[in-house]
Structures are given as structure tokens and as C-alpha cells.
Amino acid sequence: MTRATVDLGAIRHNVDVLREAVGPGVALMAVVKADAYGHGAAPVARACLAAGCAWLAVATVDEGVALRRAEIDAPLLTLGPSDPAEYPAALSHALSLAVGSLANATALAQAAHTLGLTARVHVKVDTGLNRFGIPAARAVAEIAAIAALPHLVLEGVYTHFASSEEDDKSSARRQLALFMDALNRLDGLGVRPLLRHASNSGAILDLPDARLDLARPGIALYGYHPAGPGGAARGLRPALTLRTRLARVETAPAGAGVSYNHTFHTARPSVLGLVPLGYADGLPRLLSNRGHMLVGGKRRPIVGRVCMDQTVLDMTDAPGAVVGDEVVVIGRQGDSYIGADELGAHVGTNAYETLCRITPRVPRDYVE
Ligand SMILES: *Cc1c(COP(=O)(O)O)cnc(C)c1O
């Protein structure tokens, strides 16, 4: 009954929008980590490659291996830190690995030597996110040493922005200046990585100077602007619709307590609609008594606790709803629309988390 429908045509359209945004000469690396932000990594990866993305990126070696097992042989970078125990799997599946220290690069080169393979690395420079990577102050010396390692090719050097989606671009510009300075100094040492990259969705859309050789869109591929509502204004199309069907429509008298712990009481004789979807499907329990779903093209408030598998809507103002009517949790119905960003905002989060929290219990359907 509950399904997430992913419009691969929308994904391809979004790739077109992003290709237009970066212009000619800039390759696109489709970020399909976290099961393509909940959309399904393999089908989304294939759609992005068909639409002209040259590269794929995931967070972990396991995610990369899963794509290789799905017979996807495009260039594929793991963006997150990986453990030396994972190097043999990464190397034998021809993954390019992000590296954040000379020590890891040395261990990786050793693993490649043992297997008779060549490691391909993208060194991450930490220009101010203070998360992963070699701090910019040490980066030039360490990257030069990494580039000199045997059994290893320095395929790329990259950085990642803390707040490129914000209107105030000063922090992103400071990071970009540090990155360009490191690249220039490397160039002075004769170290010229094939691919220099920095842009996430926010920078692709709003910071043209950061495009370099390759750009790494994630959330924009799925149709959302990283800053929240605004994706549509850029011509992006949300790709995922989460829908189900009303499983019960029943009246309740005034004063009836609804769902666990009776956190909601009807103020009037009411019609309650049962939605067979709950927090085990990825609907946050914090949406209890907050937010809406669409039935008959209109917003219906969530009342009472969101349960593991079921949620109740107040349908009193929607006479005529019957069992089997479509319920849209994320997406469009008639003239109404609830985005993953709007749903997330009710519980203090964003489209990213809302989308990648849709659990494996929800079947994904693919349409063109
Ligand atoms: C997740 C991620 C991206 C994509 O970010 P979006 O904001 O979704 O476009 C790009 N680069 C790195 C290093 C990432 O971790």
C-alpha cells in the first residue's frame, strides 16, 4: 500500500539543469551515498550516468562495492574516511578512495602493492569544515609526498564547504581561497592532480568560481535546494513521492482520545483517517500532532502520536474521504504539495535527513 515512487525522468532533468549551471568543461559527479538519499542507489546511479554524469560518489566502501555488484563500472569515489581493513575490497572493486592523511595513503599504497594493483586517490583538503581531510596548512607538503608514493595515482584533490548554500558566501569564499592557494603551491611543485573539485549543490547553484574540473551535486539531483524551499525556483524537480492509502475512515465523538497516550482529544465530533505508515517507515515520531498529509488534494493534520506502523489524520473537514483514497506524505497531489524540506522543518531537520530516513520497508518504484 505504501510506496515511494522515484521519477527517474526528474533525476535526468535535474542533471540537465546542473550541467547547464556548471557549463561546458566541468564534469559532474553524482553523489548517490545513503542509497541515493533514500531514492535507491543503483537505479539513480544508472539514470545519472545516462544523463551524462561522468562520476559517481558514495560515502563508504560498502556502498561502492554494492554499486559494483549492481554492475555499475563507472568511475566511483568514496567520499568518507575508510579503514585500512577496507582497502583490499576497495582496490579489487576499482573504487577511487578519499584519503585524509599521508599515513592512510601510505597504507593504501602498501595494500595496492600487495594485491598487484594501483590505488587511485582523491586527497581531501580541510579548508575549514573541520571534519575530514588534511588541514590546509599541512596539505601541500603531505599531498606532494602522497603523489610520490608508488602503486598510487593522485587522481584528485578536493575540499568541501561548510555553508555554500547560505546567502552569505564569505565563509565559502575563504575556504575556496585556501583551496586555490594550496593548488597553486602544488602546481609550483609540479604536482598537478587530474581533477580538482569543491562544489556541492549549494556551490554549483550559487558560487560559480568553485566549479573547477568537477562538481559533486547531491541534494539538487533529487530536486531540492540545499537551503530549503527554493529548488523549484531553480528549475529542479523533486523526484520522490511517498504515498499510501487510507486504511480506515471512522467517526469519533467529541472528547475522544486518539492514538497512544491520548495526546490528542477531539474537540468536536470528528472523522479520523488511518494511514498505514509510521516511524518504522521513516515518518518521524516527532511529527505527532504536527504537520499534514494530503488527501483529496487538501492538507489534513496529523493527530495524536505517530506510531511505528500507523498514523491518524483528522479528516473532519474532508467529508467524502473513503478507505483506499490516496494519501501523499511527500510530493504533489492535485494543486497541493508537501516537500521533504517542509516535512523536515516541522521536526527541526531538512530534506536530506527526511529523504534518507525513509526505511527499506517502503518499496521503491521507478517511473520515467
Ligand atoms: C554529501 C556530499 C556532497 C553532496 O552535497 P549536497 O549538499 O547534497 O550537494 C558533496 N561532497 C561531499 C564531500 C559530500 O560529503
Q: What are the E-state strand segments in 79-189?
A: 96-99, 119-126, 134-135, 152-158
Q: Model confidence at 359, in pLDDT bands (50, 70, 90)?
A: very high
Q: What are the E-state strand segments in 15-99?
A: 27-31, 55-58, 76-78, 96-99
Mean pLDDT of the region 184-203: 97
133 Cβ contact list (under 8 Å, min separation 6): 100, 123, 124, 125, 126, 139, 159, 160
Q: Is 60 in contact with 85 (CB distance < 8 Å)?
A: no
Ligand 1 contacts CB of residue 81 (under 6 A): no
Q: Model confidence at 319, in pLDDT bands (50, 70, 90)?
A: confident
Ligand 1 contacts CB of residue 164 (under 6 A): no
Confidence at residue 233, expressed as pLDDT on a 0 to 100 scale: 79
CA distance 59 to 184: 28
Confidence at residue 213, expressed as pLDDT on a 0 to 100 scale: 98
Confidence at residue 232, expressed as pLDDT on a 0 to 100 scale: 78
Q: Model confidence at 6, in pLDDT bands (50, 70, 90)?
A: very high
The number of the ligand 1 atom at minimal distance from the alpha carbon of 158 is 13
| From 25-34, 103-112, 276-285, 310-319, the region with the lowest mean pLDDT | 310-319
CA of residue 171 to ligand 1 center, whole Å: 17
Mean pLDDT of the region 278-293: 98
Amino acid at 100: G
Three-class SS state of 153: strand
344 Cβ contact list (under 8 Å, min separation 6): 350, 351, 353, 354
Q: Model confidence at 76, in pLDDT bands (50, 70, 90)?
A: very high
Q: Is 251 in contact with 271 (CB distance < 8 Å)?
A: yes
Q: How many CB atoms lie within 10 A of CB 84?
A: 12
Ligand 1 contacts CB of residue 226 (under 6 A): yes
CA of residue 226 to ligand 1 center, whole Å: 10
Closest by CA position to 61, among listed 111, 103, 20, 130: 111
The number of the ligand 1 atom at minimal distance from the alpha carbon of 79 is 13
pTM for the full predicted model: 0.97
The rounded mean pLDDT for the chain is 97
Pocket test for ligand 1, best of 216, 353, 354 (most atoms within 8 A of CB): 216
Residue whose Cα lies nearest atom 4 of ligand 1: it is 218
Q: What's the pLDDT tens digit per position in 207-250?
A: 999 999 999 999 999 999 999 887 777 899 999 999 999 999 99
Q: What's the pLDDT tens digit per position in 10-63?
A: 999 999 999 999 999 999 999 999 999 999 999 999 999 999 999 999 999 999
Three-class SS state of 36: helix
Q: Model confidence at 193, in pLDDT bands (50, 70, 90)?
A: very high
Residue whose Cα lies nearest atom 14 of ligand 1: it is 79
Confidence at residue 230, expressed as pLDDT on a 0 to 100 scale: 75
**pLDDT of 318 over the 90 cut:** no
Confidence at residue 62, expressed as pLDDT on a 0 to 100 scale: 98
Q: What's the pLDDT tens digit per position in 242-283?
A: 999 999 999 999 999 999 999 999 999 999 999 999 999 999
Confidence at residue 291, expressed as pLDDT on a 0 to 100 scale: 94
Q: Model confidence at 84, in pLDDT bands (50, 70, 90)?
A: very high
State the cell numbers at 16: 540537465
The number of the ligand 1 atom at minimal distance from the alpha carbon of 33 is 1
Choosing from 33, 37, 158, 279, the catalytic residue is: 33
Mean pLDDT of the region 304-309: 98
What is the C-alpha end-to-end distance of the chain, expressed in Å? 21
The C-alpha cell 483517517 sits at 273
The number of the ligand 1 atom at minimal distance from the alpha carbon of 220 is 9
Complete DSSP assignment for 266-311: -SSSEEEEEES--GGGT--GGGTT--EEEETTEEEEEES---SS-E
Pocket test for ligand 1, best of 18, 160, 200 (most atoms within 8 A of CB): 200
Mean pLDDT of the region 356-363: 98
CA distance 323 to 134: 57
Q: What's the pLDDT tens digit per position in 136-159?
A: 999 999 999 999 999 999 999 999
Is residue 33 part of the annotated active site? The answer reads yes
Ligand 1 contacts CB of residue 219 (under 6 A): yes
DSSP label of 13: H
DSSP label of 154: E
Ligand 1 contacts CB of residue 34 (under 6 A): no
State the cell numbers at 186: 602544488
Amino acid at 349: T
Is residue 260 part of the annotated active site? The answer reads yes
CA of residue 32 to ligand 1 center, whole Å: 9
The number of the ligand 1 atom at minimal distance from the alpha carbon of 165 is 7
Ligand 1 contacts CB of residue 217 (under 6 A): yes
State the cell numbers at 99: 584519503
Residue whose Cα lies nearest atom 6 of ligand 1: it is 218
Confidence at residue 342, expressed as pLDDT on a 0 to 100 scale: 96
Choosing from 37, 87, 224, 260, the catalytic residue is: 260
Mean pLDDT of the region 196-217: 97
Closest by CA position to 53, among listed 79, 26, 80: 26
